[in-house]
Structure 1
Amino acid sequence: MQVLEFKYKAFIFDLNGTMINDMEYHTMAWHSIINKDLGENHSYESVKKEMYGKNHEVLERIFGKERFTPQEIINLSIDKEKRYQEGYIPHLALIDGLYELLEIARSKGVLMAIGSAAITFNINFVLDGLKIREYFKAIVSADDVEISKPNPETFLKAAKALGINPSDCLVFEDAPKGVESAYNAGMKCIVLTTTHDIEEFAEYSNILGFIDNFKNPILKTLL
């Protein structure tokens, strides 16, 4: 990773896989519903590849747009989120070093937001469970956008809510589609290697570096 000399005015964090290392639990919840409840035979890896965007988009990518009624999609989504939270809550924790970064960034006047494809229900589960809501001046969830990542709407809305130009915002992401969303929003990105291999990000030119947690000393050059 290069030394990061440009001082960003705002940090925008994805949530799942970026602030908390929970993507395994989302995947396990969908894998269980898809195979045990719906009678399909999809591998864990094939389900993992679809773990981006809104719940109805995940279902549409796997089953097509005509498989479920709107009410069935709502019911499946609620069931999935309950299973995810039940499975993950014993492990709920920030990725190493993030609390310290939040503290330092706030003390330096860096504004912070969450820009996530998670629904508000799950964002509240994390923010209130870990008592970190106070650090974030804006929250953009799946419920706040028409089109999810890789469309730039999530990150552009976060920047607008903070009152900061997109080019002055640095995004923290863990997924290729999230990095693509940041690119489409005109934002640079730092990637957490919690969920995907570095090779999966080869096509993106807006990545400043890769980290496995927030203890990486290079992050101090951001502040």
Structure 2
Amino acid sequence: MMDIDISRIKGLIFDLDGTLADTMPLHLEAWNEVGEKYGLSLSHEEHIKFAGMSTEDIVNIQADKQGVSADAKAFSEQKDKVFLEEKLDDVKPIPVVPDFLYSLHNKFPMAVGTGSQRITAEKIIDNLNVNKYIEGLVTADDVENHKPAPDTFLSCAEIIDIAPENCLVFEDGELGMQSAKTGGMQAINITKTSDKKLRDLLTSLENLKK
């Protein structure tokens, strides 16, 4: 099926933006609306490359690259405000991936690890109506070292009380994949996995707990 040892899996960890929720284009719109005030821009390609990083980290990278002075914390707060007030209602679930939550929440402990701020992540999770399925949420506010450092997912593993080597991480970005693997976890990039293979994986996990 894919390079995953199903027999080792005892807990599931999900990235949020681009993995459970189709928010990446909306975040990019909000980023550039705020960025215009600072003289900063972020391309689609850069946004994909930085997927999983905190807004503050991205602002610092772009400000340095584009020779602009920017208060990363203030920028992040303004960007989240735009997202929550103008974009949140347009958030939709990513196909297939939320099915793992619906089908496996009584069989595997599950957590979400994201580079978003807590206030934004909680609103997105509420919007998707999946908060009842997860046991923990780790956000950019909760760790000092963000993706690609492993801290976010290691904190998730600690919350669900599952050893890292027994966790499977669902991601959509290369930095997130690196984060999971550095933390000693198995990981799957949903953008490089067909819906059929994801459904096959779901069936295998369901069968594992029968």
Q: State how far apart, in whole Å, the 1-side matches of 2:43 and 2:140 are.
A: 26
Q: State how far apart, in whole Å, the 1-side matches of 2:196 and 2:127 are.
A: 20
Q: Does the alignment pair 1:157 with 2:179?
A: no
CA positional deviation for 1:83: 2.1
SS at match of 1:6: helix
Q: State how far apart, in whole Å, the 1-side matches of 2:42 and 2:15 are.
A: 27
CA positional deviation for 1:75: 2.4
Q: State how far apart, in whole Å, the 2-side matches of 1:17 and 1:213 are.
A: 18
For residues 8-65 of structure 1, the C-alpha deviation after alignment (integer angstroms, 9 at most, x for no partner) is: 110000000000111111112222322x212346644345434441222111111129
Do 1:52 and 1:117's aligned partners in 2 also have CA atoms closer than 8 Å?
A: yes
Do 1:27 and 1:48's aligned partners in 2 also have CA atoms closer than 8 Å?
A: no
Q: Does the alignment pair 1:13 with 2:14?
A: yes
Identity percentage of aligned residues: 30
In structure 1, the residue matched to 2:200 is: 217
In structure 2, the residue matched to 1:88 is: 87
Q: State how far apart, in whole Å, the 1-side matches of 2:98 and 2:197 are.
A: 9
Q: State how far apart, in whole Å, the 2-side matches of 1:9 and 1:144 are.
A: 24
In structure 1, the residue matched to 2:33 is: 32
For residues 101-127 of structure 1, the C-alpha deviation after alignment (integer angstroms, 9 at most, x for no partner) is: 2122123x2000011111101111112
SS at match of 1:114: strand
Residue 16 to residue 123, structure 1, CA distance change in 2 (3 Å): same
Figure out how many residues of one structure are paired with residues of the other and give that number. Answer: 203
Q: Does the alignment pair 1:120 with 2:118?
A: yes
SS at match of 1:76: helix
Structure 1 segment 1-223 matched on structure 2, within 5 A = 1-2=1-2, 5-6=6-7, 8-34=9-35, 36-40=36-40, 43-64=43-64, 67-68=69-70, 72-107=71-106, 109-193=107-191, 198=192, 210-212=193-195, 216-223=199-206
Do 1:101 and 1:214's aligned partners in 2 also have CA atoms closer than 8 Å?
A: no
Residue 170 to residue 215, structure 1, CA distance change in 2 (3 Å): closer
Residue 220 to residue 7, structure 1, CA distance change in 2 (3 Å): farther
TM-score by length of 2: 0.85
Q: State how far apart, in whole Å, the 1-side matches of 2:196 and 2:115 are.
A: 21
Do 2:51 and 2:176's aligned partners in 1 also have CA atoms closer than 8 Å?
A: no
Question: Which piece of structure 1 moves more, 53-62 or 93-102?
Answer: 93-102
Do 1:31 and 1:44's aligned partners in 2 also have CA atoms closer than 8 Å?
A: no
TM-score by length of 1: 0.80
Aligned partner of 2:69: which letter? R
Do 2:32 and 2:42's aligned partners in 1 also have CA atoms closer than 8 Å?
A: yes
Question: Which piece of structure 1 moves more, 148-157 or 74-83?
Answer: 74-83
CA positional deviation for 1:129: 2.0
CA positional deviation for 1:213: 8.3
Aligned partner of 1:101: which letter? F
Do 1:4 and 1:222's aligned partners in 2 also have CA atoms closer than 8 Å?
A: no
Do 1:14 and 1:171's aligned partners in 2 also have CA atoms closer than 8 Å?
A: yes
Listed as ranges, the gaps of 5+ residues in structure 1 are: 199-209
Residue 120 to residue 57, structure 1, CA distance change in 2 (3 Å): same
Listed as ranges, the gaps of 5+ residues in structure 2 are: none
In structure 2, the residue matched to 1:203 is: none
